[in-house]
Structure 1
Amino acid sequence: MEEEVSKKTVNLAWQTTKVTVRGVYRYLKRYSEERAKLIKDFVKKKDSPIKGKQTVKQLVGQGQGVSSMEIGDSGIRDFKRIANKYGVDFAITKDNTLDPPKYTVFFKAKDADAITSVLKEYAAKQTKRKKSMEKDRPSILQKLKKFKELVANLPHKTKEKIKEPER
């Protein structure tokens, strides 16, 4: 009887060890496959160049000539939109040492046609903005301040609470 119980115990221990060894083997195999896939994706991503906005270091690291241009604070969003439209790779840096901060845009010189069209469209947009500012139109914020002052100067009606005696 004891022999039979000990055989069953040994057999149970052996079966559970087989199961855990198989499980560990499957886990390690799956882990190595996932790791190989991640490495393959990383290498593929590293080989493909970055498009659009990037850092100056990444832009210079592409091994092509880089040109620069200074833009005003108001035109950054317009420049980004236009450059992305034409597929130009660019980097924007901000110089905080000056009182109004100065922004410099670096872009690849290889894309000459695209850069000229970006600069033309950007210049057209900036001149259009300046012309609209030169007109004697007050801004919406100025109009809003004016109306706030008018509303603040209006006399306020105060409610009077009068209790009437009841009969």
Structure 2
Amino acid sequence: MQEEVENKTVNLAVKTTKVSLRLLIKALIAYKRKLENKHRLKQVAKNTHTKGKQSVKELIGQDQGVSSMEIGDSGIRDFKKLANKYGVDFAIVKDKNETPPKYTVFFKARDADAITQVLKEYAAKQTKRKKSAEKERPSVLQKLKKFKEKVASMPRKSKEKRKEMER
């Protein structure tokens, strides 16, 4: 009886060792596959470049030549929208040394035609914005004040409240 129990225990130990060894081998193979896949994805990402806004380092790293241009502090958001619309790869750098901060836009040299179109539309938007700012529009608070005065000057209907006792 004792001998049977010992044999069963030994068999169980051998079987669990085999299972754990098999699992260990499977885990190592899966880990190797994962590393290879990760490496492959890095290679693909390295070969493709980002589009639109990016850092200056990424832009220069594409080895296609870089041009730059200064832009004022207003309307950076409009410039970004237009550049993305035309598919221009660009990088914006803020010059912190000047009191009204100036922005420098770096873009690829091959995108020169697209950037001229972006700048034309950007200039048109900026002039339109300046013209609308030059028009003197009364403030909303002043309009509200006038309407309050009008309402205050209007005669109000007086409501008489009568309470009559009924019997």
| TM-score of the superposed pair, with normalisation by structure 1 | 0.81
Cα RMSD over matched residues? 2.2
Deviation at 1:64, TM superposition (A): 1.8
Residue 129 of structure 1 corresponds to which residue in structure 2? 129
- List structure 1 segments (4+ residues) > 2 angstroms apart after TM superposition: 142-148
Q: Secondary structure at the match of 1:53?
A: coil
Structure 1 position 143 matched with structure 2 position 136: no
Q: Is 1:10 matched with 2:10?
A: yes
The structural deviation recorded for 1:51 is: 0.9
**Percent of pairs with identical residues:** 64
Question: Which runs of no fewer than 5 residues in structure 2 stay unpaired?
Answer: 149-167
1:44 match: 44
The superposition leaves residues 5-52 of structure 1 with CA deviations (integer Å, 9 ceiling, x where unpaired) of 111110000011111111111111111111111110111011111211
Please tell me the residue identity of whatever aligns with 2:36. A
* 49-58 or 60-69, which deviates more: 60-69
Q: Structure 1 48/144 Cα, relative in aligned 2: closer, same or farther at 3 Å?
A: farther
Q: Which moved more, 1:50-59 or 1:83-92?
A: 50-59
Alignment partners' CA distance in 1, 2:71 and 2:81: 14
Could you say which residue in structure 2 is the equivalent of 1:160?
A: none
Task: From the CA coordinates, give the structure whose radius of gyration is larger.
Answer: 2
Matched ranges for 1:66-77 at <5 A: 66-77=66-77
In structure 1, C-alpha distance between the alignment counterparts of 2:100 and 2:5, rounded to whole Å? 88
TM-score normalised by L of structure 2: 0.81
Corresponding pairs, count: 150
Cα distance, 1:143 vs. partner? 2.8
Residue aligning to 1:105: 105
What residue in structure 1 maps to residue 33 of structure 2? Answer: 33
Counterpart of 2:140 in structure 1: which amino acid?
Answer: K
